[in-house]
């Protein structure tokens, strides 16, 4: 993750297969800020559980650039970059609050920090959404901060993923 100036907007660049390191290095060399949110995942490889750090959005990298300077074509021609994601003829900026929130939830290396607000076994109430006022028991917390809860629905225990922001401790 590299720094950027505040007049820049963030855009999403599609990266060529296996081109992440090359794209990141070449974008930095041209003065573009980059941000790659990562998450830790546990995967089963040949019968063993292995922890890996992987991109939250595989194949994509956020790039900061000042559209007033009109340099976005330089990003498209950067080694390792396939193209900037466009809607119409120009690249579409990613909403600033989305980037700010993602950065806030990441450590200095860009890894998502899991929520320690809720722990398995906690009793919670749903504060918004279709399950508002339901009481549930926390089963687990995923790296993207969704909380897996068990709640009673139509006479059966049902496992549901709910964003942490929609839960409150009771």
Q: What is the mean pLDDT of the chain?
A: 84
Q: Residue 114: its pLDDT value, please?
A: 58
* Nearest in space to 144 (alpha carbons), one of 124, 122, 165: 165
Distance CA 68, CA 65 (A): 9
Class of the CATH-defined domain 123-169:
mainly beta
Q: Does domain 9-104 have CATH number 3.10.310.10?
A: no
Say if residue 142's pLDDT is above 60. yes
| Confidence category of residue 36, pLDDT binned at 50, 70, 90 | very high
The set of residues, in sequence order, having a beta carbon less than 8 Å from that of 7 and lying 6+ positions away, is 66, 68
* Measured distance CA(149)–CA(7) in Å, rounded: 41
Neighbours of 118 (CB within 10 A): 21
This model's pTM is above 0.85: no
Q: Where are the domains of the chain?
A: 9-104, 123-169
Q: How many CB atoms lie within 10 A of CB 160?
A: 18
């Amino acid at each position: 993750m590299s720094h950027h100036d505040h007049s820049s907007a963030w855009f999403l660049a599609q990266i060529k297969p296996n081109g992440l390191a090359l794209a990141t290095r070449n974008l930095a060399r041209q003065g573009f800020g980059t941000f790659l949110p990562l998450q830790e995942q546990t995967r089963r490889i040949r019968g063993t559980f292995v922890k890996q750090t992987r991109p939250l959005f595989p194949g994509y990298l956020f790039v900061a650039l000042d559209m007033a300077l009109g340099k976005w074509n330089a990003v498209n021609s950067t080694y390792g970059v396939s193209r900037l994601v466009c809607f119409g003829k120009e690249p579409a900026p990613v909403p600033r609050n989305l980037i700010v929130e993602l950065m806030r939830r990441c450590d200095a290396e860009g890894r998502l920090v899991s929520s320690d607000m809720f722990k398995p076994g906690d009793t919670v109430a749903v504060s918004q959404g279709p399950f508002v006022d339901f009481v549930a028991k926390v089963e687990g917390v995923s790296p993207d901060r969704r909380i897996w809860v068990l709640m009673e629905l139509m006479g059966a225990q049902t496992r549901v993923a709910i964003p942490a922001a929609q839960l409150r401790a009771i």
